[in-house]
Chains A and B, each alone.
Chain A
Amino acid sequence: MELICPAGTPAALRVAVDAGADAVYCGYRDETNARNFPGLNFSREELKDGIAYAHAHNSTVYVAINTFPRAGALELWHQAVDDAVALKADAIILADVGLLAYAAEKHPHQRLHLSVQAAASNPDAIRFYVEAFGVKRVVLPRVLSVPEIKSICQNITCETEVFVFGGLCVMAEGRCSLSSYATGKSPNMNGVCSPASHVTYREDRSGMVSRLGDFTINKFAKNEAAAYPTLCKGRFVTEQGSGYLFEDPVSLDASDLLPGLKDAGVTSLKIEGRQRGRAYIEGVVRYFRQAVEDLDAGRAIQTAGLMQMTEGQTTTVGAYRKTWR
């Protein structure tokens, strides 16, 4: 199986390549990219150098242009696609139907992948993207169980890529406006979720209060570590009960499920975390490189060594196990 790793900076890209990534995914430093965080991402020049470095070390680079273009500003997204082609990106990861149509028509030989932000969750939806735009691979949304992934793989003609480690969207990706409801900024339109620019922390007598826009997302006792206030992982209250109503502050770790994913016919394993630092990228990539090699050689996979990368957070296999639902 292929191992695809995140890079938020040129340094992270080199670290991921050196640690054994078959492919690295990254994006431009603007709103065309669903990880449009301050201080991250690539200029055209940096991307050119990054692609050259990856190609020289037998690795590949996928460019994510996976927000939904703003009405009246299509040129910015078109230019992003044209530049990625010119810079010899090995694949371009897209989500918007209009932009896929543009890329397929203007660059018929460019390899296109369907972003997780398109949330194509069954063979019929995937077939639409394959037939209409010649998409070669689909990144599956994190709403599917392993048997469902297997069934999808058996019923489509393109490759599949699944997330195995890192942040976990609880909602179907690309179909969530929770962030813009609270802050006016959304993943689909602005490439951000629960943006730091709208986060405030306040200390009161009982402990720390974290807020996003005008809403309290969580409260922590003095002895409790205050997690970042990602909207869907906050603590809320209803008449029926309260707590982490949508999801606990967990991250995804599907390393135990790698044999099942291989058996399902998955092409590529994806690590989330373009906002992560070099040490994290190196540790996680090395771990999964070893795991994939063990798997391909028919050996048992070592699971020790990954816990330190979850930063004390609880992990989950998410929707890959049906009971999560």
Chain B
Amino acid sequence: MKLTLGPVQFHWEPEEWRDFYFRIADESPFDTVVTGEVVCSKRKPFYDQYLPEVIERLKAAGKEVYLGSLLLVTLERERRQTLELIEQSGVPVEVNDLTCLASMQGKSHAIGPYINTYNEATAAYFARNGATRICLPPELPATSVATIVQNAPEVAIEVFAFGRLPLAISARCYHARLHKLSKDNCKFVCNQDPDGLTVDTMDGEHFLAMNGVQTMSFTVSNLLGEAKDLERMGVKSLRLSPQHCDMVEVARIFRDTLDGKTSVEDGQTKLKAIYPEASFSNGFSHGSSGSKWVSERLEDQMGAV
């Protein structure tokens, strides 16, 4: 089982963003790293200045590097940005919107978790078009994951296993709306919340997290307990999505648990210790509400997989 670092979804300071990737390159056990801005085209220029050095450092460290495409493409500028990604020499694209799929034909690429790959026929279609790895949508239950893995063996299947769940994307910027600003003049207020802004219900239940045009879960998805079962199912990689915590350590915990060097229980204790403010969930994988924590084992629930 490989480990993939998903793209940073939050608006971090550009230098912090650069240094984060440098440390991932130098210290982490990730096999694959997806970088580039995928949530908001307005944030992209901040990171572009550091992108070449980040890619170079990651490649030099032996990581397989992908550039993520933008989630929602409506403006002419965004169309150009997306098509330009394909021209970036030597870096394959992870497709997050079908805008660039036609141009990908025959080129090695990956399909990101924001694309609706809900079944084996769709996975097979993307594989025929040249996709070598598909990260399935986070809401997909493990029963569907198992069916897709069995019926689309020509493509490596990846599962979203750590991080706030990307739940929705909009043309409207909720950060700007909350701060009573227009989207065009947003003052980049989303950078005040490097882990997303917590959205509570009127009864004080923690519910969602706001991240500009994206809406995420309050809970942090954590499939450490499901990792070995997913491996037995034939899942080829787990995606860990960057949060404002020690992601190198998160990757080590997943690696050690997969390698049998750490028990799931010890791994969970360590995860809680390095990210104490997180509330974990795994409900989607168990076919339940995404917000829930299910302690039953996947294998017990699904029978032999």
Contacts and interface: CB of A to CB of B under 8 A. Distances in A.
Interface of A: 68-72, 74, 95-99, 101-102, 118-125, 127-129, 131-132, 143-144, 148, 151, 170-172, 174-178, 180-184, 186, 188-189, 209, 213-219, 232, 234-242, 245-247, 319, 323-325
Contacts of A183: 289
Given A184-B288, A209-B203, A237-B202, A175 B114 contact: yes
A186 B139 contact: yes
B101 interface: yes
Contacts of B167: 176-178, 181
Given A68-B118, A128-B98, A98 B83 contact: no
Q: Which 3 A-B pairs have the closest CB atoms?
A: A98-B121, A98-B122, A143-B171
Given A96-B118, A172-B168, A181-B291, A124 B200 contact: no
Interface of B: 71-76, 78-79, 82-83, 97-103, 114, 116, 118-126, 137-140, 143-145, 147-148, 151, 165, 167-174, 176-179, 182-184, 197-205, 207-208, 210, 215, 217, 283-284, 287-291
Contacts, number: 224
Contacts of B210: 238, 245
Contact of B169 (A96, A125, A171, A239): A171
Given A74-B120, A178-B168, A171 B100 contact: no
Nearest to B177: A245
A124 B79 contact: yes
B119 A98 contact: yes
Contacts of A214: 205, 289, 291
Nearest to A143: B171
Contact of A171 (B74, B124, B215): B215
Given A71-B118, A131-B102, A181-B217, A239 B72 contact: no
Contact of B148 (A71, A182, A247, A324): A71
A176 B137 CA distance: 11
Contacts of A70: 118-119, 144
Nearest to B207: A215
Contact of A127 (B71, B102, B151): B102
Contacts of B197: 238-240
Contact of B100 (A124, A143, A176, A236): A124
Given A71-B148, A124-B102, A184-B283, A171 B168 contact: yes
Given A97-B98, A125-B98, A214-B205, 12 more contacts: A69-B121, A74-B121, A124-B103, A131-B102, A171-B169, A181-B208, A181-B217, A182-B289, A184-B289, A234-B201, A235-B202, A324-B172
A247 B170 CA distance: 11
Given A215-B201, A216-B201, A72 B147 contact: yes
B170 A99 contact: no
Contacts of A246: 170, 172, 174, 215
Contacts of A188: 116, 118, 137, 139
A151 B76 contact: yes
Contacts of A69: 118-119, 121
Nearest to B116: A68
Nearest to B203: A216
Contacts of A143: 72, 74, 170-171
Contact of B198 (A95, A123, A172, A239): A239
B139 to A, nearest CB: 4
Contacts of A125: 73, 97-99, 101
Contacts of A118: 116
B150 to A, nearest CB: 9
B202 A120 contact: no
B100 A219 contact: no
B173 to A, nearest CB: 6
B122 A96 contact: yes
A172 B169 contact: yes
12 contacts: A69-B119, A71-B144, A95-B116, A99-B121, A123-B79, A132-B102, A172-B171, A177-B168, A181-B291, A182-B291, A188-B139, A189-B139
